[in-house]
Amino acid sequence: MFVLQSSDKSTKARTGILKTAHGEIPTPVFMPVGTVGTVKGIMQRDLKDDIGAKIILGNTYHLYLRPGTEIVKKAGGLHNFISWHGPMLTDSGGFQVFSLAGNRKLTEEGAIFRSHIDGSRHIFTPENTIDIQRIFGADIIMAFDECAPFPCDYKYARKSMELTHKWLDRAVARFRETEPVWDYPQYLFPIVQGSTFGDLRKQSAEKIASVSMEGNAIGGLSVGEPEEEMYRMLEIVNDILPDDKPRYLMGVGTPVNILEAIERGVDMFDCVMPTRNGRNGMLFTGQGTVNIRNRKWIDDFSPIDPDGPSSVSLNYSKAYLRHLIISGEILGAQLASIHNLAFYIKLVTDARKNIESGNFKKWKDGMIKKLSDRL
């Protein structure tokens, strides 16, 4: 399922190909987030053609609540329902249980929570989140975990990690004893936890590696801890997670975070930043980040980004995009999202090229310098 292609000499960065029933994914890869079955504001056609997305995410929590598992099943699975025929990954809902903190109750059995839509009570367990994700039919599905908050004390972090590990065994058991609902294989990724404690991270990575799934994920990071802590955890975890399986760093991050993580051996990323921040007027460009709402862009008729990660970046001006965003126009959110997503995808694509050509370290250092600028 995963083929390692090349490795950087001076760092742990590498390239590979992730093979799924819906297509092959060159890594490193960035996966746009499509929580409720849509990458907000973006048509599937643009996602594929202009942005060049290779795989997108959906979310079990949101889709289970609305439209509901039965509807997705009736539609013939998530791919058919949302008219995206490339690879997909669904998150298990563990993060939602964490972010809906006020409304949840964790037990050994699973997480009891209330719907943010109508207040109704529901339970997620390691087993039913596998069942639901079998029905949704994403190519890659995630184990149900607990994402510990930051900061959290050692005792809580350990308990939370142990619960996640127990849940993992049950999820793997259910995964193994069930068949795909649709006629192609799915892969289950377990998730490393352990907060910012090195020994817990090590222990968790060993556990996760021991279940020998087709790929492994690293969760519970970029939840408020200092970036240096995140990098330190990545180094510990990636030393243990097998090299011949893809490593997925969940929810990360800024362009700089992504480059630092690639350097440490991470292959897959997802983050809401390019879309959410884009809607709110923040652009990522090859020259640095831009707050397009700032007055200084009012008469800047130059392209959004002359590096042109997408046609949108070249064909629309900063002044026009500023006008659209400030006016609250839908098109503004769409253009900013398309540009930012294309930027992210070009970033990881360029990383891949530079790893292949043996120039990664030098290229990365130069990029980080540029990315840190605020225009």
Partner RNA sequence: GGGGAGAUACCAAAGUGGCCAACUGGGGCAGACUGUAAAUCUGCUGGGAAUUCCCUUCGUAGGUUCGAAUCCUGCUCUCCCCA
Residues forming the site for RNA (CB under 7 A): 33, 35, 39-40, 57, 59, 62, 91-92, 94-96, 98-100, 102-103, 116, 142, 145, 147, 191, 217, 219-220, 222-223, 227, 250-254, 257, 270-273, 275-277, 279-282, 291, 293-296, 298, 326, 328, 330, 333, 374
- Is omega for the bond preceding 242 within 30 degrees of 0, making it cis? no
Query: Is 270 in the active site?
Result: yes
119 versus 244: smaller Cβ distance to RNA: 119
Q: Of 142 and 183, which CB lies nearer to RNA in the complex structure? A: 142
Give the nearer residue to RNA in terms of CB position, either 151 or 358.
Answer: 151
351-369: burial string, b at 16+ Cβ within 10 Å, e else: bbebbeeeebbebbeebee
In 3-state terms, what secondary structure has residue 7?
Answer: strand
Q: In the complex, what is the shortest distance from the CB of residue 1 to RNA, in angstroms, rounded to a whole number? A: 19
Beta carbon nearer to RNA, 179 or 327: 327
Give the list of residues 6+ apart from residue 366 with CB closer than 8 angstroms, or none.
Answer: none
- Shortest approach of RNA to residue 108 CB, angstroms? 19
Nearest approach in angstroms of CB 296 to RNA is 6
Distance CA 251, CA 33 (A): 9
Please identify which of the residues 139, 270, 305, 350 carries the catalytic annotation: 270
The Cα angle at residue 71 between residues 70 and 73, in degrees rounded to 5: 65
Closest CB 24 distance from RNA, rounded Å: 22
Q: State in angstroms the smallest separation of the CB of 95 from RNA.
A: 4
> What secondary structure does DSSP assign to 291-323, as a single string?
ETTSGGGTT--SBS-TT-SSHHHHHSBHHHHHH
Q: Catalytic one among 8, 46, 50, 91? A: 91
Residues in the chain: 375
307 given a catalytic annotation = no
Q: Which is nearer to RNA, 162 or 227 (CB)?
A: 227
Query: Following DSSP, what letter does each residue of 19-38 receive, concatenated?
Result: EETTEEEEESEEEEB-TTSS
Residue 187 CB contacts under 8 Å (≥ 6 apart), including other chains: 1, 20, 139, 140, 141, 213, 214, 215
| Catalytic residue annotation | 91, 270
